[in-house]
A and B are shown apart, each in its own frame.
Chain A
Amino acid sequence: MNRFFEIFFVIWSWLSALCLVGAVAAILGFLCVKGFPALNVELIFGNTEPLSALLLQKQVFDGLFPAIVGTLCLVVLSVLLAVPLGVAAGIYMAEYAVGYVKTCCDFLFDILAGIPSIVIGLFGFTLAVFLHKNFSDQVYPCFLISSISLAFLVLPYIVRSTQISLEEIDPAIRNTALALGASRLQNIIHVLLPRALGGICSGVILAIGRCAEDTAVIMLTGAVAIAGIPRSILGQYEALPFYIFYISSQYADQAELMRGYGASLILIMLCTLLFLVAFLVRKRIAYQAFYKA
């Protein structure tokens, strides 16, 4: 009986592995087969000449260019907002926090990491409406609100990766400079942070990937189907994941659907690239920060 169970278990394990690889291969294969014919200059720039589009002289209407630019701007602003705060919080958690402050913050970050992105999106949306009604007519669900919401979303990744990579440093190294008379802050700046940089970077890259792929937040906070290149942080914008979502449900014709496949392929290449870089930078910390609660 036990023998039978053991064999069954091995077979099952092989089957699951095959099944998973098969599913991933099917997804990627499907996208590649459908998407590669769509990949060309026209996909990105439509009928506009690429050069004048890049120089922002002309607007692109039938291409992905505004969506790609929108996503890039969104990633940059969100990460810029989240990194200083997140890294500082991470340093505090690893090097200073003790007792109830540590327990409390630890718990709060765990919750923040667990909040579904749509709830953060809802928060951003109502915040915009609230500000619009009570403070300024100029505030709508917009680029800035999206960036802030996304920064909230990725903050725990950055805090965690900073914290973990600092805490992982060998106590021998940690104590050497201190024993030689360095202050706590000097030790952090000159010894610990440079060592933890790899881990922090991989956390940041994960955060970038998360910003680039998230759809639920931006759907509620200002991404629209057609907006052109974002010109002001108080304007609405296009984004690649939202474009894919939009096309998938309401493509008008086959040509538009093909653009959807093309956009999917571009997004998946972008995100996979980011994640591979993150794992190369510092494999272990990367996924601990990513899936640790």
Chain B
Amino acid sequence: MREKNAVACLTLLLALFMSTAVFANALESFKNESGTLRIAGGTAHIPVVKEAAARIMRFNPDIQISIAGGGSGLGIKQVGDGLIDIGNSGRKAKEDEISRYGLVMFKWAIDGVASVVHPDNPVRSLSKDQMKDIYSGKITNWQELGGTKGVINLYTRDDSSGTREVFWKKGLDKGDISSSANFVASNGAMKAAISQDPNGIGYVSVGHIDETIFPVTFDGVHPDLETVKTGKYTIARGLYSNTKGNPAGLAKKFIDYLLSDEGQQIVADKGFIPVQ
């Protein structure tokens, strides 16, 4: 018995030691580096990328990482044009984009796209058909869905958004989105807008959901990490970082870091599903 305990202790210690070694190694590769790294694109990625960048810059203040949003389309196009070093996207790059720019994709997290409403909204569950009718403008009042009286305020994203693309394809079956829908510029902005609008409905990356917004049960499945992970919730996608050609220098190290144990831990901490 005692031996067993000792073995267990040893393994635990060893595991701890190894994990710290791995953790240290993950950042260690940025030692003696300097220069700037420009990241832009997908807005679902921002919490993770921001945290990773902060850790790297804290470890080595000579590295300068700038992070901008703009949407997946922007990430892919700007990295293709060489304006940024890493372009994030919340969807796979299309064939023609890959061949045209010579993009290399790295998937480092899995994420869902959930339809969200204000927490005070009594409507907690919607079917796909209802969702399509809401977004196409056929249903215009919450009353028609069993909620309290109030005109539905639609929120959507612009064409550059990967979140929109995924939601539109898998959630709305490429149905119409009413032209009277309000536009917001990012996942963060969607969350902020819905949390302030009692009659609003929008869609947001599952990783961005917190108590200020409520994810609607969609076709009987509640969107959360579990259902996305098991594949029960179908409106899911990968989060990608793209580079033009094979990444080199800081860009490579940054992507390696995201895929390292520590990077994947950040992914999990921020509410996404790690790929490793």
Contacts and interface: CB of A to CB of B under 8 A. Distances in A.
Interface of A: 57-59, 61, 129, 132-133, 137, 140-141, 224-228, 231-232, 235-237, 249-253
Contacts of B192: 249-251
A252 B186 CA distance: 12
Contacts of B185: 249-250
A237 B83 CA distance: 15
Given A129-B83, A132-B82, A236-B38, A59 B67 contact: no
A125 to B, nearest CB: 10
Of A137, A232, A250, which is in contact with the most chain B CB atoms at under 10 Å from its CB? A250
Interface string B64-78: 111111000000000
Of A132, A236, A251, which is in contact with the most chain B CB atoms at under 10 Å from its CB? A236
Contacts of B40: 224
Contacts of A226: 50, 53, 65-67
Contacts of B50: 226
21 contacts: A58-B58, A61-B54, A61-B58, A129-B83, A132-B83, A140-B83, A224-B66, A226-B50, A226-B53, A231-B64, A235-B64, A235-B66, A236-B66, A249-B184, A249-B189, A249-B192, A250-B69, A250-B186, A250-B188, A250-B191, A251-B192
A137 B61 CA distance: 25
B81 interface: yes
A228 B57 contact: yes
Contact of B81 (A129, A231, A252): A129
Nearest to B62: A231
Contact of B188 (A227, A236, A249): A249
B36 interface: yes
Given A225-B68, A226-B67, A235 B36 contact: yes
Contacts of A141: 83
Interface of B: 36, 38, 40, 43, 46-47, 50, 53-54, 57-58, 61, 64-69, 81-84, 184-189, 191-193, 210
Nearest to A237: B66
Contacts, number: 73
B61 A57 contact: yes
Nearest to A132: B83
- In the A-B complex, the 5 residue pairs with the smallest Cβ-Cβ separation, listed nearest first, are A250-B188, A227-B66, A224-B68, A249-B189, A236-B66
A227 B68 CA distance: 9
A228 B64 contact: yes
B267 to A, nearest CB: 16
Contacts of A61: 54, 57-58
Contacts of B36: 231-232, 235
B188 A252 contact: yes
Contacts of B47: 252
Contacts of B68: 224-225, 236
Nearest to A236: B66
A125 B188 CA distance: 24
Given A225-B67, A228-B64, 19 more contacts: A59-B58, A129-B81, A132-B82, A141-B83, A224-B66, A224-B67, A225-B46, A226-B53, A226-B65, A226-B67, A227-B66, A231-B36, A231-B64, A236-B66, A249-B185, A249-B186, A249-B188, A250-B186, A253-B210
Nearest to B67: A226
A173 to B, nearest CB: 53
B100 to A, nearest CB: 15
A132 B57 CA distance: 27
Contacts of B69: 225, 250
Contacts of A58: 58, 61
Contacts of B187: 250
A236 B53 CA distance: 15
Nearest to A48: B58
A228 B58 CA distance: 11
Contacts of A137: 82
Nearest to B54: A61
Nearest to A234: B36
A239 B41 CA distance: 19
